[in-house]
């Protein structure tokens, strides 16, 4: 039976493969800790963004501005929230990147930042590869990114729903 070429290359490089489940233990521990930390940061950020947007809306209403009918104000609100969420995700990517460099999974902060953004966004096209014992972290970071982007999307949907609901009740 002939083995396809892509399998032959993989099998010919045992130094690039994980050697059993035991080597993944540290990778899993770090990954799950980072997921917990980044989700906590994200949740905290969303609470702060929500509180700030509510305070801004109250100030606009107190100044007798027609918030409900103001498309520019609504656009500005959504853009500011979107930018704030992007800053949050950037901070979370940099936390992963810092850990990659600290663990020796990637050689430089620039490579780690690129790899982290690539993983968090599930783009995965940077051609960077983590050290073998840390590869599971890249896959878990992609899952973390999906969770964080899902939470962000739900929050933006919530904000838009309430803004548009207020407009129809005005």
φ and ψ at residue 2, rounded to 5 degrees: -90, 130
Task: Tell me how crowded residue 89 is: count the other CB atoms within 10 A of its CB.
Answer: 20
pTM: 0.80
pLDDT band of residue 169 (cuts 50, 70, 90) is low
User: Higher pLDDT residue, 158 or 70?
Assistant: 158
Transcribe 121-143 into DSSP letters: TT---S-----GGGHHHHHHHHH
Task: Report pLDDT for 19.
Answer: 56
Task: Report pLDDT for 4.
Answer: 44
Task: Report pLDDT for 25.
Answer: 86
Per residue in 125-158, pLDDT (tens digit) is 888 999 988 999 999 999 999 999 999 999 999 9
User: Higher pLDDT residue, 17 or 63?
Assistant: 63
* Per-residue CA distances from 87 to 29, 73, 102, 122 (Å): 26, 21, 22, 17
């Amino acid at each position: 039976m002939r083995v396809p070429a892509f399998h032959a290359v993989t099998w010919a490089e045992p130094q690039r493969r994980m050697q059993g489940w035991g080597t993944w233990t540290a990778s899993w521990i770090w990954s799950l800790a980072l997921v917990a930390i980044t989700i906590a940061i994200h949740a905290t950020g969303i609470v702060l963004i929500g509180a700030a947007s509510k305070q801004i809306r109250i100030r606009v209403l107190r100044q007798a501005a027609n918030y409900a009918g103001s498309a520019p104000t609504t656009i500005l609100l959504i853009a500011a929230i979107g930018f704030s969420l992007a800053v949050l995700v950037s901070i979370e990517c940099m936390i992963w990147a810092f850990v990659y460099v600290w663990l020796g999974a990637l050689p430089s902060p620039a490579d780690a930042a690129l790899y982290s953004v690539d993983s968090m966004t599930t783009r995965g096209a940077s051609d960077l590869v983590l050290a073998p014992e840390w590869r599971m972290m890249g896959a878990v970071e992609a899952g973390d990114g999906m969770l964080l982007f899902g939470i962000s999307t739900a929050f933006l949907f919530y904000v838009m729903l309430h803004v548009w609901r207020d407009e129809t009740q005005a």
